[in-house]
Structure 1
């Protein structure tokens, strides 16, 4: 847990919650705050990878964003033969790359918002090919870090600079409507959750500030729509090659059409995060959820 990405604080909260859940279940758990760059007063990953922790039954990854979620750490753990939770290196990399994952979703017939990669000075392309309103965001970040909803031409440059601070920039058509998410556990899609953020989008503030979002669990959807959403979530999860657990985010427009935004391979895992909320709706307690995820990793050993 921890790491060096903009989602560090969320990661620490996830790690603490998962450790407590293991202890509630009668297991020993050792939270380890790691750094990949030395920017934070945490244990260097190279030290951890050459320590007694290699003998642990399983590493439960609670890193969000950056090297901990983009496949880098997963590749190192594969090389060491360490059993770890979540998707492997390639699936993690594809899920973090919003442009590549969009292409793969389209190949499976999963609806996605129109979008394109844009560079500096390409404001006109956004207006011509995407139109307004649109979303401008980094190609490879999580938790809506660097994301802007652009409603007028004068905001495009500012949005591109904001997203560009994190790398390549992706522009997408903004889908007016509802925020929905489907958690995946193994081969099962859990009940959909609807998010009611105080802001126009479910941004970083709404995700992690108490009182800034409300939730309907399970989401109030016609049975046919709920089933289709689960089907698309499983397809998106599988086309990227994901495993164990994850979360697939959607927007639903005012006419009931759903659009897949992304797959999160290491979603938030506090007791109030979206995946645990969906699990509770399916009758799965937080300690049971954590144990089931860990067992999947152990069984691959």
Structure 2
């Protein structure tokens, strides 16, 4: 089978994407597939698997790197040569974390070309990418969610009196994004408006003090839970991708009743957002002050790096990384 692995791209999660593409590409090549890695943010478009990093560097790409990647994407990915390469492939394996690789735009383009691709359909990805919309859908399914506020660029404290008056810590993150990019914890609601860079809409949530639990879902089936114990109050980029940056226990040390509740909540949440039997996702929870697992967000394109949570959960279920990749391909065809 000829598989086109899409990795890299133009967003802040570019390095995460390259690491995922590296591991996936090598694994599929070792399984006997013909693998081409396409980096839409590279001037050459096609890159060598052996030149890709196996792990994620503890930095975000520089503005210059992202500018160059945007130019390469504009000039190359939608070219006739690239389009023909997409049409000749048997399937596109999407490892493009963030931005157009995760918000439904790439999926829609592939669907328009008639190219099969791994992951959820375009409309589901667009829904999951919007943290506010996905939270409201999950809440309508009866799943507990954190109290939240939407703060737009130019908003003032007087526009959000209940947030401004909140004395407890809150978590601030972009309403669109992943890999914990841009996530910060501030001491109270008023401090949200002291954040220097507010050029994008933010979702502000009450800080949930309990355990963090994540549930991966493949083909509407839950995998074993993972508990995350971060070295700081929130599970940030460094803790997520640095070896030893967080303690990740899989299977999570919880009783069967707790596991059943969280897994059922994950299935209900993923269904409410639109994931189906041909897709996969990761649903993140954190316990509130009463110990109730509360929905944080959905990830339509979980990482596939050496330290990612989905492969760990799959391994706990007896599914090797190679078997996981092949399963994601099989269900998409």
- The structure-2 alpha-carbon separation of the partners of 1:147 and 1:175, relative to structure 1 and needing over 3 Å to count, comes to same
Q: Secondary structure at the match of 1:3?
A: coil
Q: Which residue of 1 aligns with 2:11?
A: 5
| CA positional deviation for 1:214 | 1.5
- Output aligned runs, 1:132-211, within 5 Å: 132-152=168-188, 155-159=191-195, 161-162=196-197, 164-165=198-199, 167-211=200-244
| Shift in Å, 1:249 | 0.7
Give CA deviations for 1:259-292 in whole Å, capped at 9, x if unaligned: 1111101111013310000000000000000000
Structure 1 contact 131–173 (Cα < 8 Å) conserved: no
Per the alignment, residue 282 of structure 1 pairs with 317
Moved more, 28-37 or 51-60: 28-37
5+ unaligned residues in a row in structure 1: which ranges?
none
1:265 alignment partner in structure 2: 300
Cα distance between partner residues in 2 of 1:176 and 1:246: 24
Structure 2's unaligned 5+ residue stretches are 1-6, 43-65
Provide the alpha-carbon RMSD of the alignment. Answer: 1.9
Length-normalised TM-score, structure 1 = 0.92
* Whole-Å separation in 1 of the counterparts to 2:216 and 2:98: 18
Q: How does 1:1-301 map to 2 (within 5 A)?
A: 1-35=7-41, 39-40=68-69, 44-47=76-79, 49-119=82-152, 120-122=155-157, 124-128=161-165, 131-152=167-188, 155-159=191-195, 161-162=196-197, 164-165=198-199, 167-243=200-276, 244-298=279-333
How far is the alpha carbon of 1:52 from its aligned partner? 2.4
* Residues 163, 190 of structure 2: 8 Å contact kept: no
Q: How far apart in 2 are the matches of 1:171 and 1:46?
A: 36
CA distance in 2, matches of 1:204, 1:184: 22
Report the secondary structure of 1:155's partner residue: helix
1:75-130 residue CA offsets vs partner (Å, 9 max, x unmatched): 111110000011111111110100000110111001110112123213643134x5
1:125-175 Cα deviation digits (max 9, x unpaired) = 3134x552111111111112122111145632234x44x33x211111110
How many residue pairs match? The answer is: 294
